[in-house]
Amino acid sequence: MSVSGQSGVGLIRLFTDCFGNEIPVGNTEASTTPGHNQGDFSVLGDLDDADAGLVLVSKANGYARLTSSATTDGDGCALATEVCLSPALNGTIVVEARVERAALTAGTVFIGLAGAAADDIAEPITCATTVLTKVTHCVGFLLNSELTAADGIWYMPYLLAGDTTQTSTDVDASQTAVITESDIVRLEVDNDGSARWYINGVLEQSVGAGLAATATTLMAAVCGVWATTTTVATLDVDYFLVTASRDWTR
């Protein structure tokens, strides 16, 4: 197909600065945003449960607090796009967020690209001891309190269609999350499936062509938190940014 129809909107840019509307915990009130949106992103998760939702918190810059349900292990709340981003066609894809946690002892956080984003969005990875197990193909940043290592280590998994597990110590970062301190995490995935992970501006990991994504992969951008026990888990989000190149071949 001819690409002569390209215009000045070749960059797709999705953003929320977390000054928008709330999705009340347990849906106890009607949301002021149709469709449960926060900026350019849908708010997904177990929102009908008593604990789950999104509320704005009184911090400089404006933060949205994603709150998981504690009904069962794996209940969560996330900001997400539709499953519509192809590294091969939309690369370079950038997923960036500034986040902090009030506690590191319970819960899992994933920020990146994932192959599924249902209304009751599931965690893309489950964890035990030193094993990261794929729920859906994904590439991104992970915090998880179920791993053997000390809480707060940032992990940088990439689990594709043909993968089942990764060892946590193979994809751990040098930087750790600290309670009530914000980290900036940034993922870049190129057309050829290569990728780079940055934390607070420092390059922590890079992988070569085809290792982080395949040509036929469609993914959603996700920033979420899930319970690992019957304790509510939270994630405070200052901002969430996704950029991608428009596919002009369709």
54 close to 69: Cβ distance less than 8 angstroms:
no
Structure tokens at 52: 């789950």
Q: How far is Cα 27 from Cα 138, in angstroms, rounded to an integer? A: 29
Q: How far is Cα 250 from Cα 240, in angstroms, rounded to an integer? A: 28
Task: Please report the pLDDT score of residue 33 as a whole number.
Answer: 41
pLDDT tens for each residue of 168-203: 999 999 999 999 999 999 999 999 999 999 999 999
Q: Closest Cα partner for 187 from 101, 87, 100, 104?
A: 87
146 C-beta neighbours (distance < 10 Å), count:
16
DSSP state, 91? P
Task: Please report the pLDDT score of residue 125 as a whole number.
Answer: 96
Of residues 10 and 8, more confidently modeled: 10
Task: Please report the pLDDT score of residue 138 as a whole number.
Answer: 95
Q: How far is Cα 64 from Cα 182, in angstroms, rounded to an integer? A: 13
4 C-beta neighbours (distance < 10 Å), count:
6
| Whole-number percent of the chain with pLDDT over 90 | 62
For residue 92, say if its preceding peptide bond is cis, omega within 30 degrees of 0: yes
Report domain extents, the chain. Answer: 11-245
Of residues 244 and 38, more confidently modeled: 244
pLDDT tens for each residue of 78-132: 999 999 999 999 989 999 999 999 999 889 999 999 999 988 899 999 999 999 9
- 8, 39, 187, 180 alpha-carbon torsion, rounded to 10°: 150
Q: How far is Cα 212 from Cα 115, in angstroms, rounded to an integer? A: 12
Mean of pLDDT values over 35-58: 80
pLDDT at 231 exceeding the cut of 80? yes
Q: Strands 125-128 and 131-134: what pairing? A: antiparallel
Kindly provide the b/e burial profile for residues 184-223, where b requires at least 16 CB atoms within 10 angstroms of the residue's own CB. ebbbbbbbbbbbbbbbeeeebbebeeebbbeeebbbbbbb
Task: Please report the pLDDT score of residue 170 as a whole number.
Answer: 97
- For residue 88, the surrounding DSSP H or E stretch is helix 87-90
| Residue 56's pLDDT band (cuts 50, 70, 90) | confident
For residue 90, give the amino acid letter: N
pLDDT tens for each residue of 152-176: 999 999 998 788 999 999 999 999 9
Task: Please report the pLDDT score of residue 16 as a whole number.
Answer: 92
- Mean pLDDT rounded to a whole number for the chain: 87
pLDDT at 227 exceeding the cut of 50? yes
Mean of pLDDT values over 136-145: 95
Q: Closest Cα partner for 212 from 118, 113, 80?
A: 113
Mean of pLDDT values over 19-29: 57
pLDDT at 25 exceeding the cut of 80? no
| Distances in whole angstroms, Cα of residue 195 to Cα of each of 7, 94, 118, 205 | 27, 10, 25, 8
Task: Please report the pLDDT score of residue 36 as a whole number.
Answer: 67
Task: Please report the pLDDT score of residue 184 as a whole number.
Answer: 98
| Residue 19's pLDDT band (cuts 50, 70, 90) | confident
Longest dimension (CA), the chain: 55
Pick the CATH number of 11-245 from 2.60.120.560, 1.10.530.10, 3.40.50.1000, 3.40.190.10: 2.60.120.560
237 close to 98: Cβ distance less than 8 angstroms:
yes
